[in-house]
Chain A
Amino acid sequence: MKLFRALDKGILKLEEFILSYAIILIALMVISKPITRTLLGYTLPFADEVSQISVTIATFMGISYAARKGRHISMSAFYDMAPFKVRKVLSIFIPLLTAIILFAFAYYSTLYVLDIKASGRVTPALQMPTYILYMFIPIGFFLGGIQFIRNMWINIRDRDNVYLGTDAKDYNDMENQEIEETGHL
């Protein structure tokens, strides 16, 4: 159990690191272009590519983090109107199915990465093997699947509350005050 918690914490830290520095890296790369172009008449040939790599990594590695924080976008119109019991049932059923689907995507995207690896393709500017980048797609889907399982589990374990994610209670059961607090970016 202790090992489990340490692993969880490690992954959480890693995801937070990736999300933060992917965005900072994109900013640095994009800002560098007009600056170097104006001052030196030159742009880093890999600037666009590094930005695009960062976006891909942040997007897929963010799936599980957003799931943990209950930040995935959904059309909750009918869900919000439903009574506690219905929401409780859905809060177990939806993460389960979502997890299964993400695991399926993890499987297919692994196949895709293997295809890319076999083709030997490299990125245009950095000449980096493309599969290294695309590896983050199955990893992201897999970690996302795990997190949705955990979202399901917390809803099974805690009978009195509905959770949107392990770190996020359902806003429908909260006072406005709390929503404001959790809602800040």
Chain B
Amino acid sequence: GGNGGDGGDSADGGDSGESQTWRMVTEEVDGQVQYEYAQEFADRINEKTDGQVTIEPYEFGGLGNETDQVEQLETGAVEMAVMSPGFTGNMVKEGQLFALHFLFPDSVEQTQEVLNNSEALNTDLREKYEEHGITPLAYWTEGAMQWTSSGTAIESPSDFEGFKMRTQTSPLILESYRAYGADPQSMSWGELYTALDRGTVEGQENPIFFIGDASFYEVQEYMTISNHNNYVAMTTVNSDWYNGLDEEMQSTIDETVEEMQEWVFEEQKAQNEEWLQTIKEDEENPTEIIELTDEQREAFRSAAMDVRDFYRSEVSTVDGEILDKLEQEITDITGAETGESSGEEGSSEEGSDSEEDSGSEE
């Protein structure tokens, strides 16, 4: 390829009229939600700018691990990134609030509504990220997190006792599972499939599409539709680069980010529903799907409440101010205390059982 030489030099070029290439790095691979997002985003920007701006989406892998990608966005090696706050939690501590269980509404629609409109997130948390040169332009869900397990079906906090649960190793996540009486274990994802297969660890958490895509369900007996939190992603840009763009370009980006919110909601919903169906129908690797009753959810929810105090005292650098505000915003949307009602409706239909299903006919 003779065109290799000019790829990198346009990164700093702000002068309009010339064609530009931006790089957008993601934490997932082709076909998965984040990468699909980046590709659609690239197409739309390209069209809106009459081909003047080309965005190159990067799959996970080539540019290092998730933390590397955050650094690359910080230093401007890439202009844009889709990232999840989990991987910035050691830098922007406040961002760890997304790991809190049963914080967001049970309905994924309402969760997305909070993510779209929350001032706590879109103003206050954004400022925290901007201190590190990263501007989150939007937050969106990739779907609710579920538990999978073998040996023990996870239906109440006591099921976690003596259960070998694999999680990531941030103090807040560890604390969240200790609250249920579990001793969470670290296990690298490269070994997770084998470890689940052999029972080295007995369970893990992820959104449905990832459980399907990584084939974890093949080696697990149960999947508990716990929706204990959401896998949230952010559309982010390098702050200096973004602020250096002319206003027209900035509003083109902002506008596209906004329209993409609905698109990506549908995309994750489709992927999660499709995988749920596949997992249900796979007779070779049967997985029992467990729906929690309201009481069962309540037991987990109340056990998880103390972790918010841990977040306020041990994690937050602003004594949980952002969390307080977010909790209020969530209450305003659900119209109830987040601690009480599960806000589920429409589950009267026998066949449609997942959260996404019940919400889809909004």
Given a CB threshold of 8 Å, the question of whether A touches B is answered with yes
Nearest Cβ on chain B to A130's Cβ, whole angstroms: 8
B156 at the interface (CB under 8 A from A): no
Of chain A, the residue at the smallest CB distance from B174 is A45
Nearest Cβ on chain B to A128's Cβ, whole angstroms: 10
A94 at the interface (CB under 8 A from B): no
A124 at the interface (CB under 8 A from B): yes
Chain B contact residues, CB within 8 Å of chain A: 67, 71, 74-75, 89-91, 132, 162, 164, 168-171, 174, 183-186, 188, 200
A122 at the interface (CB under 8 A from B): yes
B183 touching A42, Cβ below 8 Å: yes
Of chain A, the residue at the smallest CB distance from B171 is A127
Q: What are 25 A-B interface contacts by the 8 Å CB criterion?
A: A37-B164, A40-B183, A41-B162, A41-B164, A43-B183, A43-B185, A45-B169, A45-B186, A47-B186, A48-B186, A115-B71, A116-B71, A119-B71, A119-B74, A119-B91, A119-B132, A120-B91, A121-B90, A122-B90, A123-B90, A124-B89, A124-B90, A124-B168, A125-B169, A127-B90
Q: Mark A120-148, 1 if CB is under 8 A from B, else 0.
A: 11111101001000000000000000000
Measured in the bound complex, the distance between the Cα atoms of B356 and A146 in whole Å is 62
Q: Which residues of A contact B169 (CB under 8 A)?
A: 45, 48-49, 124-125
Measured in the bound complex, the distance between the Cα atoms of B330 and A126 in whole Å is 33
The one of B71, B89, B183, B188 in contact with A48, judged by C-beta atoms closer than 8 angstroms, is B188
The DSSP consensus for interface residues of chain B is loop
Measured in the bound complex, the distance between the Cα atoms of B200 and A116 in whole Å is 35
Assuming A119-B71, A124-B169, what are 13 further A-B pairs, CB within 8 angstroms?
A37-B164, A37-B185, A37-B200, A41-B162, A41-B183, A43-B185, A45-B174, A45-B186, A49-B169, A115-B75, A121-B91, A124-B170, A127-B90
Measured in the bound complex, the distance between the Cα atoms of B165 and A42 in whole Å is 10
Of chain B, the residue at the smallest CB distance from A127 is B171
Nearest Cβ on chain B to A126's Cβ, whole angstroms: 10
Q: Which residues of B contact A124 (CB under 8 A)?
A: 89-90, 168-170
| Residue count of chain A within 8 Å CB distance of chain B | 21
Interface residues of A in 25-58 (CB under 8 A from B): 34, 37, 40-43, 45, 47-49
Nearest Cβ on chain B to A43's Cβ, whole angstroms: 5
Measured in the bound complex, the distance between the Cα atoms of B174 and A58 in whole Å is 29
Measured in the bound complex, the distance between the Cα atoms of B91 and A182 in whole Å is 48
Measured in the bound complex, the distance between the Cα atoms of B182 and A43 in whole Å is 12
Q: Which residues of B contact A42 (CB under 8 A)?
A: 183, 185
Nearest Cβ on chain A to B47's Cβ, whole angstroms: 36
Q: Which residues of A contact B168 (CB under 8 A)?
A: 124
- Supposing A45-B174, A115-B75, A119-B74 touch, asked if A125 and B186 sit within 8 A by C-beta, the answer is yes
Q: Which residues of B contact A125 (CB under 8 A)?
A: 169, 186
Q: Which residues of B contact A49 (CB under 8 A)?
A: 169
Of chain A, the residue at the smallest CB distance from B170 is A124
Of chain A, the residue at the smallest CB distance from B185 is A43
Measured in the bound complex, the distance between the Cα atoms of B91 and A130 in whole Å is 10
Of chain A, the residue at the smallest CB distance from B186 is A48
Of chain A, the residue at the smallest CB distance from B67 is A121
Of chain A, the residue at the smallest CB distance from B91 is A121
Of chain B, the residue at the smallest CB distance from A130 is B90
Nearest Cβ on chain B to A134's Cβ, whole angstroms: 11
Measured in the bound complex, the distance between the Cα atoms of B164 and A41 in whole Å is 7
Measured in the bound complex, the distance between the Cα atoms of B195 and A34 in whole Å is 11
Measured in the bound complex, the distance between the Cα atoms of B132 and A130 in whole Å is 16
Q: Which residues of B contact A40 (CB under 8 A)?
A: 183
Q: Which residues of B contact A41 (CB under 8 A)?
A: 162, 164, 183
Of chain A, the residue at the smallest CB distance from B173 is A124
Q: Which residues of B contact A48 (CB under 8 A)?
A: 169, 186, 188
Measured in the bound complex, the distance between the Cα atoms of B164 and A42 in whole Å is 8
Q: Which residues of B contact A123 (CB under 8 A)?
A: 90
Measured in the bound complex, the distance between the Cα atoms of B184 and A42 in whole Å is 7
Measured in the bound complex, the distance between the Cα atoms of B199 and A41 in whole Å is 12
Q: Which residues of A contact B132 (CB under 8 A)?
A: 119
Of chain A, the residue at the smallest CB distance from B161 is A41
Interface residues of A in 43-88 (CB under 8 A from B): 43, 45, 47-49
Measured in the bound complex, the distance between the Cα atoms of B90 and A48 in whole Å is 17
Nearest Cβ on chain A to B23's Cβ, whole angstroms: 19
Measured in the bound complex, the distance between the Cα atoms of B187 and A45 in whole Å is 10
